[in-house]
Amino acid sequence: METFNIPATPSLMKEFLRQMGGTAVIDGGLATVLELHGADLNDPLWSAKCLLTSPHLIRSVHLDYLEAGADIIITASYQATIQGFEAKGFSREQSENLLKKSVDIALEARPSVGSYGAYLADGSEYSGCYGEAMTVNALKEFHRRRVQVLAEAGPDIIAFETVPNKIEAQAFAELLEEEHIKIPAWLTFNSKDGVNVVSGDSLLQCASIAESCKQVVAVGINCTPPRFIHDLILAIKKVTTKPIVIYPNSGERYDADRKEWVENTGVSDEDFVSYVNKWCEIGASLVGGCCRTTPNTIKAIYRALSDRSPAAPGQK
């Protein structure tokens, strides 16, 4: 399949999407498919554990998604943090090298930066409840070196995803500017009510933060039930001119106490994909899946958008 470099400005991102026929396909759940391959992810590092134990499985999942039709591939860095690796006994240098490894594994890599809650491994990325003492500055210092290391590894784009509250969105935006990060980025938020982000903060305020950051080339929603996506896209459109990126979960509910997804609470691939063209019609440009989606989901998305064709020069 063809591969594409992700441009570094919002206008060039739009040109990239025009060449793709208006939409691009993102891959789906990483941890879900790693488990299908036999990985045991019962660990605070979650999918990043495989960087230590079985990097070949990560590579295999990337290939699964490429074969399914994904244009953009996620790496195993969502829950990979320097602090998390150090808690496992690795040195700072070893921890940074593991972050770089997550980029090296995928030829067309899109490293993802999870929220502070992903590091805590207590489900707080699904609540945004970090405590009243947490500040923008504290979050910047937590993420700073991680962002530097990932940017130095030379990916096409950095995805700041599952952002659950306004202060973390602000921290990411300020970090990109303070560190003069040249790699383009996107910010995606999660919601459990179809109106606000999971902390209860205003989605409009969060998306406005992404809109105001020049290094951010797209803004959107991930790890959110499909039934909420339509209204969330319409809300985001009110405050951004940037491309909108959407990669929901399967709709299953996550039990943070048991640290597992509750079976039979989501939608089938057929139902999931039935939404896709509607999302694109109202403004989504990049579409994929998050937790509990698989290469079969992405293949179905690709087929649903199979009438895409690169636009000729000068066409819109």
Q: Write out the binding residues.
A: 223, 290-291
The annotation places the binding site for Zn(2+) at 223, 290-291
Contact (Cβ atoms closer than 8 angstroms) between residue 143 and residue 175: yes
Pinpoint the alpha helices (H) of the chain. 10-19, 30-36, 50-53, 55-68, 82-87, 92-105, 116-120, 136-152, 166-178, 203-212, 229-237, 269-274, 276-281, 295-304
How far apart are alpha carbons 155 and 162 in whole angstroms? 19
3-state secondary structure of 236: helix
Alpha carbon distance 22, 35 (integer Å):
33
**CB-count burial class (<10 Å; 0-12, 13-18, 19+) for 107:** exposed
